[in-house]
Structure 1
Amino acid sequence: MTDIRKNTVHTLDITGYNAEGMGVARLEGMVVFVPCTVRGERWKVRLEKVNKTAAWGRGVELLAPSPERIEPGCPLFGRCGGCQFRHMRYEEELRAKGQRISDALERVGHVKLELPPVLGAENPDRYRNKVQLPVSQGKGGLAVGYFRARTHEVLDASDCLLQPQPVTRLRAAFKDWMEKCVVPAYDETTGKGLIRHLYVRASSRGESLVCVVANGDALPRPDGLADALRRAEPRLTGLVLNTNTRDTNVILGDKYTVLWGRDWLEEELCQLTFRLSVPSFFQINRAQTQVLYREALELAALNGTETVLDLYCGIGTISLALAQRAGRVIGAEIVPQAVEDARENARRNGITNAEFFCGDAGAVAARLADERVRPQVICVDPPRKGLAPEVPGILAGMAPERIVYVSCDPATLARDADRFARLGYRAVKGQGVDLFPRTAHVETVCLLTREK
């Protein structure tokens, strides 16, 4: 009988990937997860954690490499928690993501669809338009970068292949300012120190907005910091201080102070202009978001007369794209500031057939149903946890012709598709869109129609 204990080494064949992007192997019926491996490879694997049904290991010797394997091109790959797929060709990553969507829909949602290939990015690097860099004082000195996978240890990252070059230059200038001015980093174990995060938002126009998240209401020599950042990135639009003195893993606090310039920048999406402040939600990959919205609009099949309900509308990005083709759009969002931003974005773009309500998605939908609002199309774009249990029933009760579900987690999409099926709405089309190249995340847009 094979000895399956921690630190034992076994020869394993990688047959696929799990939802976190780890390779999957089998050891006498037990599933073993191995990071940084590629489907079709054979590895000697040391088991690092073993429970009754699964084990987690680390590859110690590659016996048979896959032709899909490539050099990661990043010195932090395998330690940083940012990328999971940088060691394989992008085509293999897209296949893995497509399989993940299909498996979730079939196994969890009992939905069998012939899905087209996942729509990949023209450029899988340098796409993130928002970066939040934790700051820490470690044994090796000041670190401004990313967390080591599954830890709160900050790895000092002079660059990242997912972030645009302006972020790299701004980070270097910021770290230099901290070191020259002897500005202390925040220590989450003691609650002391000042700088918690460096936050940068970048636009397709080449503009950048910087926010420093601090454990206090002021920075030393803020004018010097502003000057240093402007020299590094002349198209900087503003420098903002965010105060967060709470003992929390939540990055942003509630108080914002403009130290220089303005507290927003503008971005264009689907021929619309959006004003983005530090807390505004906006998809991090603009180019692929336009692909995603194009697919959602195609599934919505609008002719200009419909009433559309858009739940989890954020700052109105999908709502306003829908409004260009619908008769009336009603957006609902639980975050008050996002609703204000959505209304302002509608005004800025001259869109008069969209209205926005603040409240829980289920509560707003229930109220509209009580008011006998009957949308022909409902669009939902929920967070990773998917729809609350009561929401599918409320939406089905409104009797829309079509439901367009935009999902950032195939598993919760599949669960909700199964719930809708029990209410008479069947998933008939789906399309994966890769908004997060080199990571394990993938977006899916799915059309559900009412069964006749």
Structure 2
Amino acid sequence: MKQPVPVSKNEEVVVDIEGLTHDGEGVGRAKGFTLFVRDALPGERVRAKVLKVKKTYGYAKRLELLAASPDRVDAPCPIFRQCGGCQLQHMAYDAQLRWKRQHVIDSLERIGKLRVAGSGSGAAGGGADGVTDSSAGAKGSERSKGLETGEKAITGGNGVALAGAEAGATPTEAVSPAGAASSAGAASPAGAASPETSAPGMSPSGAAAAAAGIVVHPTIGMNEPWRYRNKAQVPIGMAMADLKDGAAGSLIGGFYAQGSHRIIDMDECLIQHERNDEVVRQVKAIGRRLGVSAYDENTGRGLLRHVMVRTGYVTGEVMVVLVTNGDRIPRVDEWVAGIREAVPAVKSIVQNVNKRNTNVIFGDVTRVLWGSDVIYDELDGIRFAISARSFYQVNPEQTVVLYRKAVEYAGLTGTETVIDAYCGIGTISLFLARQAGRVYGVEVVPEAIEDARRNAELNGIRNVEFAVGLSEEVMPRWREQGVEPDVIVVDPPRKGCDEALLQTILAMRPKRVVYVSCNPSTLARDLRVLEDGGYRTVEVQPVDMFPHTVHVEAVILLVRK
């Protein structure tokens, strides 16, 4: 007989929070019923109002914090609870790192059905507290991707599934405890060999290592987890009369309120590089002075849709991109002159035209209004030319950590043949080429391959070859031409690897596969396919590319059995 739901809409209940969803909501129980509550951390007790009830779970709004977690901190951003850009500023940074590691572990176990070393009840070996600070000397992946999930699971603080959640129907991929303790080892600085793996893929090895399970290392965090983003993409709108700092009709720009397309006007974002904030402020002020209209997605009218700013962390060069709802920019010369005067470091002012009724930021037409079509920046001594639409990691400091780890896991001695299956503008390819015999990069976006070739030439790196196309189509052609990879590296978007590519990897049988992931769920799904096809997942290194958000990247080493 069907059991009645024990809570009702608008009822006030006490909820004990036991975990976090993949998007940072607290999850807990009231009267044995699962509720999702924003701004609630594991270990907290809250009084909440039930907003929505489904058959096996519901949503509630926190009214009162009855018992706070020791991991709760005051969010420094004044609009943290309105803006959807960050989700975890109210959680201590070390707790964020532990949670991200546990999120990876949960995905591996519940979606990939993989065994994690030391994980009896959600904990895993590899570090004393699941946290490693990055000490790399250089300063995420910005992937616009719909979330593709595998099996969905809800877990509590002890790693045990919460009763009453409807599998496949909840908004969670995995709900992880914030601070599950690790069972062994100690945190080590970024780039140092861990106790378990002094040589990647060599120790632990064989049947004993397979039985012990996958080593998930402590998350590598940042020493200073603020002001790390080198790119700002700011939606533009018109202020309403009741906004504090804007008269009705004036130009505003900031970020969308969580779960909506309502723009929160802001002049400062604590995860953006200070220069990006300053440039956005200046561009908005110039637009107001010139009477520029903002795009209205409801009517399709208005000119300015987005302002994008890129900053070279090493070079200091700035690119400004004006995304417009039309080809013509009134008073364009005054726009350009105003930006050049206000932003002395600007090297490129670009217009992108997007007339479509879409949430996608960029259109197909990009033209230079002034200066160069690229700016330059460096990662670990490698120089990159970055155009308006180039994919380039937004956290340079952690990108170096991530890519160094990928090269380490590749185990290169100078003679190997490596394929980079999602090469983009050649960032990982050029890191690999410094230690490999030859590197082949493939990418479906023609403009990215043009950038990759330019970047190889810019750095005098000649042992690389780039091709345009789908990896699963180009790689077999290379094989027919005699290319036999020792290592294949993949760095897919959030949706993970195409099934055809996974089958191509299995057919080519490299000694090692290095997987760079930005989505633990699709990572776990893909690892299951590779494991079933004859590979063993040896170790996983989570890297915090996006502090104070729920996103986590990871580098994974697989070896052929």
Common fold, TM-score beyond 0.5? yes
1:248-278 residue CA offsets vs partner (Å, 9 max, x unmatched):
1111112122222222110101210000010
1:84 to partner: Cα distance = 0.4
The correspondence for 1:102, drawn from 79, 102, 105, is: 105
- Counterparts of 1:32 and 1:232, CA distance in 2: 49
Which residue of 2 is the match for residue 150 of structure 1? 259
8 A Cα contact 2:515 2:557, kept in partner = yes
Pick the aligned partner of 1:398 from 498, 508, 521: 508
CA offsets 1:276-315 (integer angstroms, 9 cap, x no match): 0100000000000000011111111100101001011000
- 1:385–1:412 CA contact under 8 A, matched in 2: yes
Q: Which amino acid aligns with 1:24?
A: V
Paired with 1:401 and 1:2, the residues of 2 have a C-alpha distance of 53
Tell me the distance in 2 between the aligned counterparts of 1:442 and 1:305.
32
For 1:30 and 1:434, the matched residues in 2 are separated by: 33
Q: Which position in structure 1 is the counterpart of 2:380?
A: 270
Give 1:2 deviation, angstroms: 6.9
TM-score (norm 2): 0.78
2:309 is matched with which residue? Answer: 200
On the 8 A contact 1:169/1:232 being kept in 2, the answer is no
Matches within 5 A, 1:286-325: 286-325=396-435
* Correspondence list, 1:45-444, <5 A: 45-111=48-114, 112=116, 113-139=214-240, 140=243, 141=248, 142-204=251-313, 205-444=315-554
Residue by residue over 1:387-442, the C-alpha shift from the partner in whole angstroms, topping out at 9 and shown as x without a partner, is 11222121011110000000000010000000111101111110000001111100
Q: Deviations over 1:28-86 (max 9, x none)?
A: 44432222222211111222222123222221100011121111111211211100000
- Cα pair 1:134 1:198 within 8 Å, conserved: yes
Structure 2: gaps (5+ residues): 117-213
Once residues 369 and 9 of structure 1 are traced to their aligned partners in structure 2, the CA distance between those partners, rounded to angstroms, is 63
Please state whether the residue corresponding to 1:249 is helix, strand or coil: coil
CA distance in 2, matches of 1:303, 1:370: 25
Larger strand percent: 1
Q: What TM-score do the two structures reach when normalised by structure 1?
A: 0.97
Letter in 1 for 2:17: I
SS of corresponding position for 1:120: strand
1-side partners of 2:369 and 2:507: how far apart? 50
Please state how far the C-alpha of 1:228 moved relative to its aligned partner: 2.8
Identity %: 46
Distance 1:164 1:361 in 2: 34
* Contact 1:109 1:417 (8 Å CA) reproduced: yes
Q: Is the Cα contact below 8 Å between 2:433 and 2:461 reproduced in 1? A: yes
Aligned residue pair count: 451
Equivalent-residue separation in structure 2 for 1:97 and 1:103 (angstroms): 10
SS in 2 for 1:302: coil
**Deviation of residue 244 (structure 1)?**
1.0
* Aligned counterpart, 1:446: 556
* Counterpart-to-counterpart distance in 2, 1:81 and 1:416: 29
**1:203-256 CA-partner distances (Å, limit 9, x unpaired):** 112221100000111222223223332333211112111111111111111212
Unaligned 5+ segments in structure 1 are none
Counterpart Cα distance in 1 of 2:528 and 2:516? 15
Structure 1 residues 344, 5: closer, same or farther in 2, change over 3 A? same
Give distance in 2, aligned partners of 1:53 and 1:416: 29
Shift in alpha-carbon separation, 1:227–1:54, aligned structure 2, 3 A: same
| Distance (whole Å) between structure 2 residues aligned to residue 69 and residue 390 of structure 1 | 44
Q: Where does structure 1 differ by over 6 angstroms across 4 or more consecutive aligned residues?
A: none
